[in-house]
A and B are shown apart, each in its own frame.
Chain A
Amino acid sequence: MNAVKTTGWILLVALVGIQFVPTERNKSDVVPKTDFMVVNEVPKNIENIIKTSCYDCHSNNTDYPWYNRVQPVAWFLEGHIENGKEELNFNEWDTYSGRKKKSKLRSIISQIKDDEMPLASYTLIHRDAKLSDTEKKTVLDWVSKLKDSL
C-alpha cells in the first residue's frame, strides 16, 4: 500500500510541476494586409462563420478558452494550432501563389463537405464553431465561387 501511495504522490507532484512549463501563445492584434478577409470581398455572414469556426487554429490569433491555462490541455491545443497554421494560415493568404490558393480552396471545400473540419475535438467544446447544414452550404457555395473566379 505504501508503494502505491508514494506513486500517487509522485504523480500529483508531476501534475503540479508541469503547470509551470511555459507554452507559446498564439496571439496577435495585427491583421496583416495579406489576410483572407482583407484580400477577398467576403460577405459579413461568411466572414463570421469562417472566423468563428476556422481562425482559432488557422490564423495568428487564437481566442483562448480559460482552460488553456491548465496543462496538459495547453500542450494539446498548442500542437493543434501549430499544425493548423502550417497547413493553412488565413492571415497569410495573399502570400500564397495562385496555384496554392486554388489548391487550398479545394481542400477547404472537401474538408468541410466531409465534416472533417472543423475538427470534432474542437467543436465538442466550441459549440458555436460547429457548422449547421445551412451554414455548410452557404460557405461551400461561396468558396466554390471564389475558387472558380481565380
Chain B
Amino acid sequence: MKKANVTTGILAMGIIALTVTSCKDKKKEQESQEGEHTEQMEDSGHMDGTMEDHSQMDHDNMNHDEMAMMSSEVIADYLTLKNALVSDDKDGAATAGEKLEGSLKDFDTSKFSDEQQAELTDIIEDATEHAEHIAKSDIGHQREHFDILSKDVIDLLAITGSERTLYQAYCPMYNNNKGAQWLSATEEIKNPYYGSKMMTCGSVQKQIN
C-alpha cells in the first residue's frame, strides 16, 4: 500500500516536471520569435531613415519600368502561392507564403511619392500578415487569407504596375457568394479557392500589363 502511494507520488511529480519542461520550450520559442521581431522593427526603422533621404530626390526620376520592376519579386512569389493553392498543395502554399513574406519585407518603397509610400506601407503591412498566416495554416485558412492578400496585391500593382502581363480573375462563389479575385499569368481559369473541387469556376475580369 505504502509502495503504491510512493509510486503515485513520483508519477505525479514526473507529469508535473514534463509540463514544466514543455512550457519552458514554448517560452524559449516565443523569446526567439520576439528577437526576430525586434530585428524587423529595426530594419523598418532603418528604412524610414532612407525614405526621408531619398523620397524627395528620387521619385520624380523613376519611370514606369523601374516601378514595375520593383513589384516583380512579389508577383513571382504570389504566383507560386496561387499555383500551390490551385493544386490543393498546403505545404507548397506554406513555403510560398513564407517566401512572399520575405519579398514583401524587401520591397523598397523609398523611391515612391509620399502619398504612394503611405498607401504601399499599409498594403505591405497587411499583405505580410496574410503571408505569415498562410505559412502556418491549414488550406481552408490559407485560402481565406489568400483572398484578402489578392486584394492587397491588386492594389499594390495599381500603384507600381507589372512587368509581365497578368490576368485578374474572379470567382463569384467563394466566401458565401461574396466572390473573390485572384491574379494569374495565364488567361485559362484555374481556381485557387476551390482547387480540384471546382477548377474552372470563374472568369477573367481584366488584363494587367
Binding site for B on A (CB under 8 A): 4, 7-8, 11-12, 14-15, 18, 71-72, 75-76, 78-79, 82-83, 97-100, 102-103, 106, 110
CB < 8 Å: which of A7, A72, A78, A100 contacts B125?
A: A100
B123 cross-chain contacts in A, Cβ below 8 A: 99
* Known contacts A15-B17, A110-B144, A72 near B23 by CB under 8 Å: yes
> How far, in Å, is B63 (CB) from chain A's closest CB?
27
A150 to B144 alpha-carbon distance, docked (Å)? 19
Which residue among A11, A71, A106 has the maximum number of chain B CB atoms within 10 Å of its CB?
Answer: A11
B122: CB under 8 A from chain A?
A: yes
Query: How far apart are A13's CB and chain B's nearest CB, in angstroms?
Result: 10
A106, B148: Cβ atoms under 8 Å? yes
Query: Quick check: A11 and B130 within 8 Å, CB to CB?
Result: no
Question: Taking A15-B17, A75-B27, A79-B26 as contacts, is the C-beta distance between A103 and B9 under 8 angstroms?
Answer: no
Q: CA separation between A98 and B151, bound complex, in Å? A: 14
B30 proximal to A (CB < 8 A) = yes
Within 8 A of A (CB), among B57-74: none
Q: Which residues of B contact A15 (CB under 8 A)?
A: 13, 16-17, 20
Rounded to whole Å, the gap between the CB of B50 and the closest CB of chain A is 21
Among B13, B122, B141, the residue within 8 A (CB) of A8 is B13
| Docked CA distance A113–B135 (Å) | 22
Known: A11-B14, A12-B13. A97 touches B125 (CB 8 A): yes
B43 an interface residue at 8 Å Cβ cutoff?
Answer: no
Residues of chain B within 8 A of A97, CB atoms compared: 122, 125-126
For the complex, what is the distance from the CA of A106 to the CA of B180, rounded to whole Å?
14
Give chain B's interface secondary structure class.
Answer: helix
Partner of B10, one of A4, A76, A100: A4
**Contact for A75 among B26, B130, B141, B152, CB less than 8 A:** B26
User: Is B177 an interface residue when CB atoms closer than 8 A count as contact?
Assistant: no
Chain B residues within an 8 Å CB radius of A98: 122
State A74–B1 Cα separation when bound (angstroms): 35
CA distance A71 to B14 in the complex (A): 15
Known: A7-B10, A11-B13, A106-B148. 5 other contacts (CB 8 A): A15-B13, A79-B27, A97-B125, A99-B123, A103-B130
B19 within 8 Å of A (CB atoms)? yes
Least Cβ–Cβ distance between A85 and chain B, in angstroms: 12
Residues of A within 8 A of B10 (CB): 4, 7-8
Q: A72: which B residues are within 8 A, CB to CB?
A: 19-20, 23-24
Q: Contact at B144–A11, with CB atoms within 8 Å?
A: no
Within 8 A of A (CB), among B141-176: 141, 144, 148, 152
Residue of B nearest to A23 (CB): B27
Q: What are the nearest 5 A-B pairs in CB distance?
A: A97-B122, A11-B13, A72-B23, A75-B23, A99-B126
- Chain A to chain B contacts (Cβ below 8 Å), 23 pairs: A4-B10, A7-B10, A8-B9, A8-B13, A11-B13, A12-B13, A15-B16, A15-B20, A76-B23, A79-B26, A79-B27, A82-B30, A97-B125, A97-B126, A98-B122, A99-B122, A99-B123, A99-B126, A103-B126, A103-B130, A106-B144, A106-B148, A110-B144
